[in-house]
């Protein structure tokens, strides 16, 4: 019989995972609670994937814990060893996160190839919880993010035929630890979580306790704000798609000039992201829009650096061209 408290049980079922399911298992409290809960609920249908970045001294301890936890329960475990190298301008944590998601997808393939479960794995669950969501939103605010940042983390999405889920996203972090303690289940504490050099940790240790005192319902209310932002962002994307169909690819300068400034920025961002996989900084977008509106004569040039290339005018249209390597 499952020992899972009602709130956790509802969170787990709320997303109706496609089975069998893989759990992204770091060995920390949150993913230990997720793997334990999923294994109790769907004993023969759950596998685990652990990613050993080898970045911290603690990495070997995490892997050993993951092996021992899974062996004791007969849970199939796959371990990935990615090589995360961060590109210039990218933080080591961002690089590790990207490498981790790619490694998790490879882990699913490896488990499927080895036929460790009777059917191919259909979903993969991550253990971020309500406190992580609050931190993500506050981080976005601290960086002056737009709507995509304020929308924070989605509860589910599909990529390459795999359903990605965050079942704990509505569950306060302390509840997960409390349940593990009740079960007599230990986990590995990540020493870097205490390092106040990281903004996320400063938010966790200094801001969240104050929020908790001032606004006891902050997890739900902030989550609601993120849900509103997610909805608004979806509308903006739909408007951008419709506007891009009108201005064309490459975009016509005259058609861009006919749009209001916010719609113009929205469609330009969409064009750059969808067609070139790049994002303009706030200042660059302002300058690009200024140059577009000033472009009223035949000879007017537009030439603006954005990401690793330039937006340029060619006759009546705007183009983005990558800078040739030096
Ligand atoms: N090394 C890893 N191997 C497998 N999955 C991971 C790993 N690190 C993180 N994850 C997954 O990504 C989620 C988010 O990662 P994050 O680093 O924000 O949390 P975490 O503090 O590692 O969580 P946990 O308390 O489970 O350790 C985790 O809950 C877990 O599901």
Is the ipTM value over 0.90, yes or no?
A: yes
CA of 97 to the centre of ligand 1 (A): 9
Q: Give the nearest ligand 1 atom to 29 CA.
A: 25
What is the reported pTM?
0.87
**Could you give the CA distance from residue 84 to residue 100 in angstroms, rounded to a whole number?**
9
**Could you give the CA distance from residue 159 to residue 315 in angstroms, rounded to a whole number?**
38
Q: 112-170, pLDDT tens digit by residue?
A: 999 999 899 999 999 999 999 999 999 999 999 999 999 999 999 999 889 999 999 99
Alpha-carbon torsion, ordered 223, 229, 230, 232, to 10 deg: 150
248 is in an annotated binding site: no
CB 166 within 8 A of CB 241: no
CA of 132 to the centre of ligand 1 (A): 11
At 102 the pLDDT is 93
At 324 the pLDDT is 65
- Residue whose Cα lies nearest atom 24 of ligand 1: it is 28
Q: Phi and psi for 171 in degrees, rounded to 5?
A: -100, 125
Whether ligand 1 lies within 6 angstroms of the CB of 133 is answered as no
- Token pair belonging to 164: 């990605």
**Could you give the CA distance from residue 230 to residue 173 in angstroms, rounded to a whole number?**
22
**Probe ligand 1: pick from 12, 22, 28, max atoms within 8 Å of CB?**
28
Q: Which parts of the chain sit beneath pLDDT 50? A: 326
Whether ligand 1 lies within 6 angstroms of the CB of 77 is answered as no
- Residue whose Cα lies nearest atom 8 of ligand 1: it is 26
30 is in an annotated binding site: yes
In the chain, which residues fall in CATH 3.40.50.620? 6-215
**Could you give the CA distance from residue 69 to residue 29 in angstroms, rounded to a whole number?**
12
SS (H, E, C) 230-293: HHHHHHHHHHHHHHHHHHCCCCEHHHHHCCCHHHHHHHHHHHHHHHHCCCCCHHHHHHHHHHHH
Report the CATH architecture of 6-215: 3-Layer(aba) Sandwich (3.40)
């Amino acid at each position: 019989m499952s020992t899972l408290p009602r709130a956790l049980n509802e969170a787990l079922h709320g997303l109706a995972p496609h089975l069998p399911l893989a759990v992204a298992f770091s060995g920390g409290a949150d993913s230990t609670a997720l793997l334990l809960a999923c294994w109790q609920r769907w004993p023969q249908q759950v596998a685990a994937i652990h990613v050993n970045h080898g970045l911290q001294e603690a990495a070997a301890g995490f892997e050993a814990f993951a092996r021992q936890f899974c062996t004791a329960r007969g849970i199939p475990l796959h371990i990935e060893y990615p090589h995360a190298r961060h590109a210039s301008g990218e933080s080591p944590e961002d690089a590790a996160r990207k490498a981790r998601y790619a490694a998790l997808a490879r882990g699913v393939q490896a488990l499927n190839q080895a036929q460790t479960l009777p059917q191919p794995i259909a979903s993969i669950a991550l253990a971020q919880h309500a406190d992580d969501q609050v931190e993500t939103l506050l981080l976005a605010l601290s960086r002056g993010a737009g709507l995509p940042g304020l929308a924070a983390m989605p509860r589910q999405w599909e990529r390459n035929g795999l359903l990605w889920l965050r079942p704990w996203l509505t569950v306060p972090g302390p509840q997960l630890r409390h349940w593990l303690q009740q079960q007599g289940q230990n986990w590995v504490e990540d020493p870097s979580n205490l390092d106040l050099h990281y903004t996320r940790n400063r938010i966790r240790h200094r801001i969240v306790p104050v929020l908790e005192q001032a606004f006891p319902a902050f997890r739900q209310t902030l989550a609601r704000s993120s849900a509103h932002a997610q909805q608004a962002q979806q509308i903006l994307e739909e408007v951008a798609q419709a506007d891009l169909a009108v201005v064309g690819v490459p975009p016509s300068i005259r058609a861009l000039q006919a749009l209001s400034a916010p719609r113009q920025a929205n469609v330009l961002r969409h064009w750059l992201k969808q067609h070139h996989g790049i994002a303009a900084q706030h200042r660059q977008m302002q300058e690009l829009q200024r140059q577009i509106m000033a472009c009223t004569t035949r000879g007017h040039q537009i030439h603006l650096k954005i990401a690793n290339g330039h937006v340029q005018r060619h006759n009546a249209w705007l183009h983005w061209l990558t800078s040739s390597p030096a």
